[in-house]
Amino acid sequence: MKFNTKVIHGGQEHDPAYGAVMPPIYQTSTYAQTTPGGHKGYEYSRTHNPTRNALENALASIENGNYGLAFGSGLAAIDAIMKLLKPGDEVISTNDLYGGSFRLFTKIYEGFGIKFHFIGMDQASNIEAYVTNKTKLIWVETPTNPMMNIIDIKAVSEISKKHNVLLAVDNTFATPYLQKPLDLGADIVMHSATKYLGGHSDVVMGALIVEDKNLADRLYFIQNASGAICGPQDSFLVLRGIKTLHIRMQRHCENGKAIAEFLVNHPKIENVYWPGFENHPNHSIAKSQMKDFGGMISFTTKDNNYDAAIKIVERLKVFTLAESLGGIESLSGHPASMTHASIPKEEREKVGVVDSLIRLSVGIEDVEDLIADLNQAIG
Ligand SMILES: *Cc1c(COP(=O)(O)O)cnc(C)c1O
């Protein structure tokens, strides 16, 4: 099956009870048994729920994996990965990553005795110097948030395989429409399904997809034992969202390209971060591992100050100033005061998250309206 067919049919069956084309929302915590253990495969909804299972099968299908796991949020999904580790283990992570991931790693898991190395991964070979016999996980986010750096997943996976270390890729920004980390050698794909997979800014959810049965079993054990699952209603919403992922992503990419080109030619704009530009430092990797360049763009203005950036996001009318991304509606954000406020100023400035940086999640509206809005706001 090809991708556009998979998003609609992959891993999915019509409901066996009445043939419902969409899986019903099984809003139940438990399932009747005829005798102890006499059930139809479902005992308790933390462990299994038919609506969540339908979604999990669809997730596995679209990422070319074998097993999908859905969680109550993206961070709950990352938390489940971290529970594969033990005190004394080490993690090598990209240094330009989602603020909440950084907070989870440093404020929770460092306290449990796990050591993190945050490094630039633009050159995959940088990683080798940090690998020891304690290294158990490499954490990659690409494109990175919000600087749109690109990490060569295949090159990193060669290093992870050589040293027998797990490689997890946060695929939230790209989605499987643009890139498939398992095909490039990753062991675990992670999603904040809150973003493009859900796609309509109406649900918070996380997901993991793996190929290996043994790894899947360990993660299913953690999912059930720790219990950070998502509910059936949310599972239904994300399953529904996935069915239009391919056409939404196509439009996000088209609009993203038009806006990146508008910004780069605007006299008041200093830098535009978008992997589709030929002079983007990792453009060739983006081109080889991604189908297109996505709808996420960051930029700075020439006057380069905090207040000017705040004024722009306040003046935008079609773009809504809000946390999050990946929905059909366009959003703007000011990373230094919003998504990345939990990262110390020196840390974030090292990777380019300066006070004047603005991040756009370009939606699927008419691009002329989006450009006119940016034009009036930048002034
Ligand atoms: C939003 C986001 C997360 C966290 O997901 P939640 O669903 O908000 O818990 C992780 N990684 C990236 C890249 C994100 O954008």
Task: Say how far apart CA 93 and CA 105 lie, in whole Å.
Answer: 10
Of all atoms in ligand 1, which is nearest to the CA of residue 145? 13
pLDDT of residue 355: 92
pLDDT at 339 (0 to 100): 81
Strands 320-321 and 296-301: unpaired
User: pTM to 2 decimals?
Assistant: 0.96
| Residues classed as catalytic | 46, 98, 170, 195
pLDDT of residue 97: 87
Distance 356 CA to ligand 1 centre (A): 22
pLDDT at 349: 87
What's the confidence (pLDDT) of residue 34? 95
How high is the pLDDT of residue 340? 80
204 Cα nearest atom in ligand 1: 7
Q: Going by CA atoms, what residue is nearest to atom 8 of ligand 1?
A: 74
Identify the pLDDT of residue 343: 76
Alpha helix positions (H), the chain: 3-9, 50-62, 74-82, 99-103, 153-162, 175-178, 213-226, 232-242, 245-264, 283-289, 306-315, 345-350, 367-378
How many angstroms does the Cα of residue 11 sit away from the middle of ligand 1?
24
| pLDDT tens by residue, the chain, 379 residues | 999 999 999 998 888 889 999 999 999 999 999 999 999 999 999 999 999 999 999 999 999 999 999 999 999 999 999 999 999 999 999 988 888 999 999 999 999 999 999 999 989 999 999 999 999 999 999 999 889 999 999 999 999 999 999 999 999 999 999 999 999 999 999 999 999 999 999 999 999 999 999 999 999 999 999 999 999 999 999 999 999 999 999 999 999 999 999 999 999 999 999 999 999 999 999 999 999 999 999 999 988 788 999 999 999 999 999 999 999 999 999 998 888 887 788 878 888 899 999 999 999 999 999 999 999 999 9
What pLDDT was estimated at residue 13? Answer: 87
**Angstrom distance (rounded) from CA 232 to CA 125:** 43
Distance 18 CA to ligand 1 centre (A): 36
Beta pairing partners, 301: 269
Which pLDDT score is estimated for 121? 94
The set of protein residues with a Cβ atom below 6 angstroms from ligand 1 is: 73-75, 98, 100-101, 141, 145, 170, 172-173, 192, 194-195, 204, 206
Atom of ligand 1 nearest to the CA of 206: 7
Q: Whose CA is nearest to atom 7 of ligand 1?
A: 74
- Residue 326 CA: nearest ligand 1 atom is 15
**pLDDT score for 25:** 97
Q: Residue 14 has what pLDDT? A: 87
Q: CA–CA separation, 97 vs 92, rounded Å?
A: 12
Q: Is residue 143 reached through a cis peptide bond, with omega within 30 degrees of 0 on the bond before it?
A: yes
Query: For a substitution probing ligand 1, which of 94, 192, 200, 361 has the most ligand atoms within 8 Å of its CB?
Result: 192
Task: Please report the pLDDT score of residue 145 as a whole number.
Answer: 84
